[in-house]
Amino acid sequence: MAYIVKPVFTTSKMVSRIKKFFIQIGELSYFAGRFFKETFTLPFEFKELLRQCYHMGNRSLVLVVMTNFIIGLVLTLQSRPTMIQFGAVSMMPNMVGISIVREIGPVITALICAGRIASGIGAELGSMRVTEQIDAMEVSGTNPFKYLVVTRILATTLMIPFLVIFGDLIALYGSALVENLKGQVSFQLYFNTVFDALSFGDLIPATIKSFFLVL
């Protein structure tokens, strides 16, 4: 009995996938172009933007606080024994501070926000589309893209830096707590050491990076 082995990727399938890929790129480019155009054209939806800023910040705050606190706590707990072995335990605040502010804080906060906020926005707008609320908005003379999409993207972009900075501080607090309990280092000494090790050159690029991580 002869078996005919069908190829997994046929030429037509490949062509259709490539086509889909470029269509998606085109759609994303159109979306981005429309976003920038609508952002800078009147009328501005300031009230809705402020409302969304409050929602975006407020909705993600608890998750950002909990995750960053645990990250700071665990990072310190896990690296402490190794630092002791090398006699470098006094460098702990510097090591944790730099790693959190430069990389871990922005990445973790951006990931949480992307997951938490994006899924929330997706569900909300999807439900509004199905229940014809977006059509109702359009019929009442409001541009739904400007009112629903632009405000949400801007709110997320504006809130992320604040969440990152707040998340960094919470992570450092978690780390300081371990140092305080295990190494009898006061909070004041811990934070002084961290801030001595950091500069604005560490904070600003990391915060700017978080915009792009979320987008």
Partner 1 sequence: MPLIASKDLMEPKNDKGRKVVIRIEDLRKSFGSNQVLNGFNMVLHQGENLVVMGKSGSGKSVMIKCLVGLMTPDSGYIEVMGREIGALDRQNLDELRSDIGFLFQGSALYDSMTVRENLEFPMRRHKEKLGVVQDTTPLVVEALENVGPGHTMDLMPSELSGGMKRRVALARTLILKPKIILYDEPTSGLDPITAKEIIELMRSIQKKYNTSSLIITHDVDCARVISERMILLVDGINYADGTFSELSSSSDPKVEAFFKK
Is-contact 200 153, C-beta < 8 A?
no
Q: 């702990």: which residue's tokens?
A: 92
Q: Which residue, 52 or 210, is less far from partner 1 as judged by CB?
A: 52
Q: Which residue, 126 or 205, is less far from partner 1 as judged by CB?
A: 126
Q: Is residue 133 within the footprint of partner 1 (CB under 8 A)?
A: yes
Give least dist CB 124 to partner 1, A: 8
Pairwise CA distance, residues 102 & 188, whole Å? 21
Q: Is residue 140 within the footprint of partner 1 (CB under 8 A)?
A: yes
Only one of the segments 13-21, 31-39, 130-138, 149-157 lies at the binding site for partner 1 (rule: CB under 8 A); that segment is 130-138
In the chain the first and final C-alpha atoms are separated, in Å, by: 55
Q: Is residue 127 within the footprint of partner 1 (CB under 8 A)?
A: yes
Q: What are phi and psi of 9, to 5 degrees?
A: -110, 110
Q: Is residue 49 within the footprint of partner 1 (CB under 8 A)?
A: no
**HSE toward the beta carbon, residue 37, CA cutoff 13 A:** 8
What is the contact surface with partner 1 in residues (CB under 8 A)?
Answer: 43, 124, 127-128, 131-133, 135-143
